[in-house]
Structures are given as structure tokens and as C-alpha cells.
Structure 1
């Protein structure tokens, strides 16, 4: 890409999903105020920050689960609340933190529910639906669990099944709230590598992550939040330093290159 002429700022990245001056609250309790965010299209964005800083609340506003008290969340320049639920669900897939499966439902049937935005009262289950479910089960590594009841699975297995359900939705945008919850270290890295591959295939991925080193390794854009506001955002190598980690997490540390890949790695100091 050609650099802009000297003295002229680079144009902001094009974005389909954006928040403009939004305030988010639960009743009288304001979580975030005056937040602006352009989701970088075709990128893997990781949202980091301490507990209760507004990360999950921000994601909920993007998928119409929480209406801003002021400001607007827009998709393609239109308020997301102006879309029908199925219409926005064909564009944005969302994995929340807490989900409950219906009693006695098998894995394959649960994953198949990810196809609901593509169904109508008159449509029948199609070969395209079957393909999407099969590929989602394989991508999440739960093919061998397909016929088992979800309630019999471990927490980590259930989490991968929920990921498969969102993948079966086949949306260009994936919003994932702590997707590595309950997973062992191997499955954490496998899942993050999957999200990076989806990014490479043209999807836009936004994930709330608690492990900063994993966020720096797999994401190409970070959004750091504290107390309901965005403190910094940009490429990990551009924004992650000891001062940022101290400000956001109140954690003394040094930042060194990850010996495997060279991305920033946080090492807490005594």
C-alpha cells in the first residue's frame, strides 16, 4: 500500500461496524460513557482490560442486546436497532460468556441452531445447512462429540460446542466474549489459531481476552479498556508497553519480545 504524502494524515480504516459517542448503562448504573470505536474490518481485534471495565457490555451493544442511552452503534451506516434480528444475525455472530443448553439436546442439534438466521417458516433443512454444521463441528474439534448430549460434556468441551454453533452461523463478523473460558492451554491456542485463520480468510473477529500475551500473539489490533473507557488501541507492537499495562491493570511488569514469534510479552515484576 502506498504511504500517504508527507504531512497528510492517513485515512481512517473503512469500517462497517462502529460505535459513536455511546453511553452504556444498566438502569442507573453507567458502565461506559462517550465511547467511540471503529471495528477494523478484516482484522482480529482483541479487547483487553480488567474485570468489570465494560468489555462485555460493549460487545452486547454491538449485537442489539443493550441499547445505548446516548449515541449510536451502526452497521453499514445504519443503527443496528433498525435491523430485524435475523438480518443482523446473518452478519454478526455472537458468543456470550454464559449460555445454557436445552435439556437432553445432542451436540449436533445444538450446533444446528446456529443456522436459525438462514431459516424461514417455509424453508427446509438443506444440503447447505448440513455442510455448514459439519464444517463448524470439524473446525471447533468436536466432530466426535456430535451425537452426545451436551449435558454430559466437560466445561471445555461445552465451550467448543458453543463456538461451533456460532461458526455454523457463517457470519462475516464474529464477536466472542471470553471464548477460551474453561479450555485447557492446548485448546486455547488451537481456538485462537482458528480465529486467526478465519481472519486470514476475510472474516472480522472481535474477542474479549484476558490473557494479554495470547492477545498480542494472535490479534493484530488491540483495544485496551479501563473504567468504561478506551485507554489505547492499535497494533500490539505499537501500544503495549510497561506504562500501558501499569495504567490499565495496575501491574508492574517488563515487556519483552515473545521468544517464539516476537510479539510483545508481559512479564510481571516483583
Structure 2
């Protein structure tokens, strides 16, 4: 297993609050990695460190053997595409204009859009299902529509690594599964996909590499079929459960056994 994107002994903090201490994690190349865990366990913080939005107090994050802080901004943006939680669009921007901003790392200082840029934008909008919204103002869209537009922008960036923090937020269940299926197809085309997900069953169904976190540390990682059992779910989520095969995929499916009050 090759791991070109790694966190090596990183200590991560926000102000006086330490989130993770001496955390180590390698992201398998060409895999669909889902990071799961309870709220405030360090999932989003780790993604921010991977894309250089948070600098470790100790240790380092490396991409292709080079510390991410050593990359020029555009060079890093051509490698790592990132969708944070709750991004804010500029005022009065239309959908196609926002998606086209994903092409910025590929453009010269003159920002002249090439035929390749247009093709990438069209392809990304089609994949995210927002082509019919092209001329709408982003601020007029529903939360789910807006989320799909942001996803299109990241897809238009055409990076070998896609890092998405809770990308299914605001999406109805149909669009959730369509998005996860799209990410799985991109993985099949050679992309490396890293997502933070809250739904453990969706993570088990679509990811081939699962990272379970709690209290800023990695509790377990590996193929979901190899690591997900009732003990792990109790240790990570404090949730009593039984694990049964997903009736469609055969992957682990978590069934809570909490009694109703």
C-alpha cells in the first residue's frame, strides 16, 4: 500500500485547545478513505492540516515526500482539492461562475479561460447535477442545491486528491447516495478520495479504507470488513450495536441496540 499523503506525529490545536497529539496516519493512494467518529474528535481538524489550512505544532504533513508547507499555493491546489464545511459564496455570484473558480490553479496570471477550462466546468456541473442551475444566483439556492454546486467546483479543479468535509450535509438521501456513488467511481478512475462522514453505514458501504477516530486519535483503520465490529462501535461512539451484513453489498451494517425510553 502506497501512502503519498501522510500525517507524521502531528500535534494539532486551536488556540489553547489541543485536538490531536502525535497523530500518525497515511492515506492509501487510489483509495476511498472515510473518516468517522463522534463530534469534535478531530476529523475536520485533520483534513485542514492535510490541506495546509492548519499548521501542526509538532510533526509534519507530507505529500509525495515533501512537507505541504513547502509547496507553492497553486501547485498544492493542483494536487489537493478541498471542500470544507459550510463554505460561503461571494455575493451575487452565479452557479457557473462559482464552479469556474475551481479552475484557478490551472490558469495563468491573466486568468484567461481555455477550452479545457470550459470542458472541465461542464463536466463537473453534469457530474454534480447542477447544469440546470448554471445561471442561477448561488444565494438563491436551497442548502442541498448549494452543496452540489460547491462539489462541482471541487470536481472542476481536477485534482488527483479530493478531500471533502461532510460532503453529504444538506443533501437529501437520493443525492447523498448519488454523490457517494460518484466519489466511488472517481476512486475507480484513479483518484484518491478522503471524506469525513457521519453515517457509519454509508462509510462502510462506499469506502474501502475506514479511519475511526476518538478524542483526537486514530482508534482503528483498515477495510471496513476487517475492522468494524460491535466493540469498535462501542469504543468509538459509545453505542451498543450488532453488526450484520448489508443486504445489498455485504459490507458491515451497524444496527443500534439501544432500548427506547
Partner Cα distance (2:181, 2:210) in 1: 16
1:138-177 correspondence to structure 2 within 5 Å: 138-177=126-165
Partner Cα distance (2:65, 2:55) in 1: 17
Query: 3-state DSSP class of the match of 2:76?
Result: helix
Query: In the alignment, which residue of structure 2 is the partner of 1:124?
Result: 112
Query: In the alignment, which residue of structure 2 is the partner of 1:245?
Result: 233
Partner Cα distance (1:85, 1:64) in 2: 10
Pick which of 120-129 and 61-70 moved more: 120-129
- Give the C-alpha shift of residue 122 in structure 1: 3.4
Gaps of 5+ in 2: none
Q: Does 1:48 align with 2:36?
A: yes
TM-score, reference length from structure 1? 0.95
1:186-197 correspondence to structure 2 within 5 Å: 186-197=174-185
Mapped contact 2:61–2:68 kept (Cα < 8 A)? yes
TM-score, reference length from structure 2? 0.98
Q: Does 1:78 align with 2:66?
A: yes
Query: In the alignment, which residue of structure 2 is the partner of 1:265?
Result: 253
Query: In the alignment, which residue of structure 1 is the partner of 2:193?
Result: 205
Query: In the alignment, which residue of structure 2 is the partner of 1:135?
Result: 123
**Of residues 189, 192, 212 in structure 2, which corresponds to 1:224?**
212
- Give the C-alpha shift of residue 206 in structure 1: 0.2
Partner Cα distance (2:71, 2:135) in 1: 35
Partner Cα distance (1:254, 1:37) in 2: 28
Q: CA RMSD for the aligned pairs? A: 0.6
**Which whole-Å deviations, capped at 9, do the CAs of 1:183-232 have from their partners, x for residues lacking one?**
00000000000000000000000000000000000000000000000000
Q: Does 1:14 align with 2:9?
A: no
Question: Number of paired residues?
Answer: 258
- Give the C-alpha shift of residue 14 in structure 1: 1.3
Q: Does 1:104 align with 2:98?
A: no
Partner Cα distance (1:245, 1:147) in 2: 45
Partner Cα distance (1:259, 1:124) in 2: 50
Gaps of 5+ in 1: 1-12
- Give the C-alpha shift of residue 123 in structure 1: 4.8
